[in-house]
Amino acid sequence: MSRQFDVVVIGAGPGGYVAAIRAAQLGFSVACIESESYADPKGEVRLGGTCLNVGCVPSKALLQSSELFDQANHSFVMHGITVENVRMDVTTMVRRKENIVTQLTTGIRGLFKKNKVTLLSGRGSFAGREQDLWQIAVAGKEGTETVLARHVIVVTGSRPRHLEGIAVDNKLVCDNAGALSFDAVPKRLGVIGAGVIGLELGSVWKRLGAEVNILEAMPDFLAAADQAVAKEAWKVFTRKQGLNIHLGVKIGKVSTGKKGVTVEYENEEGAQILECDKLIVSVGRQPNTEGLGCEHIGLALDERGRIQVDGHCHTNLENVWAVGDVVPGPMLAHKGMDEGVMVAELIAGQSGHIDYNTIPWVIYTHPEIAWVGKTEEQLKREGIAYRSGQIPFAANGRALGQGDTTGFVKMLADAQTDRILGVHIIGNNASELIAEAVAAMEFGAASEDIARICHAHPTLSEVMHEAALAVDKRPLHF
């Protein structure tokens, strides 16, 4: 007799494990299916998905290590600290990253046990219907088990998109997973794609001594960001940090040999050749819907292979939900987590909620870049009257004390109602500072509300306060 659950979650990435835990907290019997081991030494499945194993978390560990190395070489001296012969042991750096991943994946297993979530190891797919229950096949090492579920939440995530004709072996030509585990610093690193992954990983290896060339197909740099932020980032990355970023590039042939990788491409100046020791391909991601059995049950997909859902992540089928990278919208771990909680609460008859207009975006370069809401360019295109306030970190005492004054905070508010429409930050700790703006926008705050809140002194958060004051043209410290 098949095991039966109230909720079966397919996928244990951020959206999946959070959905499973929240559903269990609400009193449901829950199973979560996961198949990826991510090269686990014991061959066991690893929870946490791409984000925890080969994405968000390990990349931030490497970014932190490389940033400390860069500071030791260039910034300590301003504090009166002299360090000679600074060296980076890449093996130790990578081992630290792997230990962090192991600690967190093990922690999720503990959370499953604590919340009585049943973990099923194997590949999950739809096998059909049995009365009002869904049949889910779990293909594991010991064979295939079919379980029954009243509700199914699909959270199968995404995988790196590869360019046609470019074979990724994660030795010479790497995707995000391979680029996190180099055994040495390449002298010459090529990167295809100047998006979040390309900029972050390019930054890691540039700080450690690599010559980095980033090839981007788009004619504009960071087109999704507010262009004041993009302009500042371009200046810092190219002039101060020495990242070689080439825009408007068309990639041609990529070949590998004993001496490394050769990339043939074209730009406005004609045919070009890039020789590098390693190449990172970071040109976006695509949803994992193959092998899910969508065609057997009539689960609707769009033209890009994403599962079609409504505003509450419900599919075209009864009691089948989908969240995270496998549905339309930005492929962000925190977006998937919020969707997972929302779906679990909707299944329980509660008022699950997510506001897609207040999902923050972050790029963990140095300086960090973060934003929420509309850009100034979007407001102009949409014909929305607005007021703007922008304050540099150079006017902030804490930033000066830290020795890092790059960047600014920019706030956009409705010209009539003063409601905050967008906040854009480039600077130290932007990833942390953006949370205040998200909370404010979630509750419909005006710039005047931020201006009237007392911010601790001296802190970087005071720049947010000053930006709010600047919307009304009354900043106190600039």
Cβ neighbours, 10 Å, residue 473? 8
The catalytic position among 296, 457, 465, 477 is 457
CB within 8 A of 102, min separation 6: which ones?
none
Q: Is 247 exposed, middle or buried (0-12, 13-18, 19+ CB in 10 A)?
A: middle
CA distance 464 to 444: 17
- AA identity, residue 78: M
The question of whether 314 is a catalytic residue gets the answer no
In sign, the C-alpha dihedral spanning 52, 54, 58, 60 is negative
- Rounded to whole angstroms, how far apart are CA atoms 245 and 20? 42
Contact 263, 215 (CB under 8 A): yes
d(CA 341, CA 4): 22
- For 333, list phi and psi in degrees, rounded to 5: -60, -45
> How far apart, in whole angstroms, are the C-alpha atoms of residue 217 and residue 283?
9
| CA-based radius of gyration for the chain | 24
- Residue 360 preceded by cis peptide, ω within 30: no
Please report which residue ranges of 115-226 form alpha helices under DSSP H. Answer: 176-179, 196-207
Length of the chain measured in residues: 478
Q: What is the dihedral of CA 59, 65, 71, 76, to 10 degrees?
A: 150
The three-class DSSP label of residue 81 is coil
Residues labelled as active-site residues = 457
